[in-house]
Amino acid sequence: MDFSEKDISHFREKGISPEKVEEQIKIFKRGNIVVNIREAATVKNGILSFSEEKKNELTALYESRKDDLDLLKFVPASGAATRMFKAFYNLLKEFDPENENLDEYIDQKNEQSLEVFFNRIKDLPFYDEVKKRAVQATPGYEQMPEDRQQYLFVKYMLQEDGLDLGDQPKGLVPFHKYDDHLATAFEEHLVEAIDYAASGKKVRIHFTVAKEHREKFEEEAREVVPCLERETGYRFEISYSYQDQKTDTVAVTKENEPFRDEDGEIFFRPGGHGALIQNLNDQEADLIFIKNIDNVVIPKNRELLASYKKMLGGKLLQLQEKVFKYLEQLEQGASADELQEMAEFLQKGLNAGLSVNFDDLTAEEKPSVIKNLLNRPIRVCGMVKNEGEPGGGPFWITHKDGKISLQIVESAQIDHENYQQSKIANEATHFNPVDIVCSTKDYRGGKFDLDKYVDEDTSFIANKTKDGKELKALELPGLWNGGMAYWNTIFVEVPVETFNPVKTVADLLKSSHQVQ
């Protein structure tokens, strides 16, 4: 493809080569590659479910080892709160409180989150703060019709002359109301990390944030960390990173030509959360807990959450110990019986797919194959029972080379027009809550290059708009699906009480987010 000198200069500024842009355009022309799901992973078929005795054993293992480990909590937090409030931006734009009825508007829009919101508006953590702003700014507020009050409440909840929540990163939206303060998702992540991600008296947390929001996060940290440190005796080490613009992807027109903005420049978009594999790759730790910014619990569920986090950590340490022992045996020269034991562990303990002709390999070939499969990053992923949340789930899939492995698969990766694939998708019993504990170091203490374990074929094409014009965008392989496709993967059932996402502001009204 012919690019102008101006185009190439633009690529250079972003750190992207013309060849990389051409590769991405080829993906648009190729289209999405669907994943071949073989069967849903269920309890006793890909998902482990532990007895109380086994859970306690794994928790005790983690507790006995954690103070000797460098622990890190990794929180993707670059998302803006805008999508939380999408229905309310539409309301401000479309609803006329002087001439329309709010109940009729809600019925017309069939927007359940609006109905829940207005019925329980006083249970919002920031209700008092928003109302105070509305009353101060609006003479006669208390005497106005209810529709007008509710409209103004939304206005002062979102806009700059109010609480300005619509312009905040999601991590800095108040999620919970305590007697003495409002707690943001950011603060709640710090608090819960003490319970399971502390080594000694140190808690390390890394947030991936949008560059324009970093100062706001640092301001919040300056406000809450000193108080937490005084109250708990723990010391926090907080670090931040941005999604590298080198991971931005080119956008194209419906005809798969580079999409150009109003200035004639080729338009690039952030490559989705899959780009964060680079941020994860840069972290130094023995054990890393991964959890999304909008998934936090209230105090009554913290002990339960921590117990399962420790269990997942213990399972990882147990697996890692055996993997490292086998890799050291391979270095020294393993016997035929030891190789057979390792092969069985790969299949039954790590769900790693051995090729169908493995038994036909020579004694000289088997150690190399086994070592390649053992010497990989490890992740232990919590799975909750599916209660209708949108997102990915656990499946056994068949790769192009015929190997079978456990993967987290997003709905968009499945060919729902294929009856058999759609049927398998509907048989899924569990959901991926992004509750992951992982190890990114090898048996010699060196770091894995996580780029080598990404399935590039799982990038995804989505339809978007820019300045009112339609375009096609490329999402990189997702952080916890295609981005970790070639990791050794274990799924473990965890209770649904440990998963409390906030996708819309109405989710803050659920009992799992009501402190009092």
Give the integer Cα–Cα distance in Å for 341 and 8.
54
pLDDT band at residue 222 using 50, 70 and 90 as cut-offs: very high
Classify residue 465 as left (phi > 0), alpha (psi -120 to 50) or beta. Answer: beta
For the entire predicted model, the pTM comes to: 0.94
Res 252 pLDDT > 90: yes
Predicted confidence (pLDDT) per residue in 92-104, tens digit: 999 999 889 999 9
What's the rounded mean pLDDT across residues 388-413?
A: 84
Give the integer Cα–Cα distance in Å for 279 and 208.
8
Predicted confidence (pLDDT) per residue in 38-86, tens digit: 999 999 999 999 999 999 999 999 999 999 999 999 999 988 888 899 9
**Alpha-carbon distances, residue 202 vs 72, 238, 240, 285 (angstroms):** 10, 11, 17, 13
Pairing of strands 469-475, 430-431: unpaired
Res 355 pLDDT > 80: no
Predicted confidence (pLDDT) per residue in 152-164, tens digit: 999 999 998 889 9
pLDDT score, position 391: 67
With 0-12 / 13-18 / 19 or more C-beta atoms within 10 angstroms meaning exposed / middle / buried, residue 121 is middle
Average pLDDT value for the chain: 93
pLDDT band at residue 360 using 50, 70 and 90 as cut-offs: confident
Q: For residues 86 and 475, is the Cβ–Cβ distance under 8 A?
A: no
Q: For residues 292 and 480, is the Cβ–Cβ distance under 8 A?
A: no
Q: What percent of the chain has pLDDT over 90?
A: 76
Give the chain's radius of gyration (CA, Å). Answer: 25
Res 294 pLDDT > 80: yes
What's the rounded mean pLDDT across residues 370-399?
A: 89
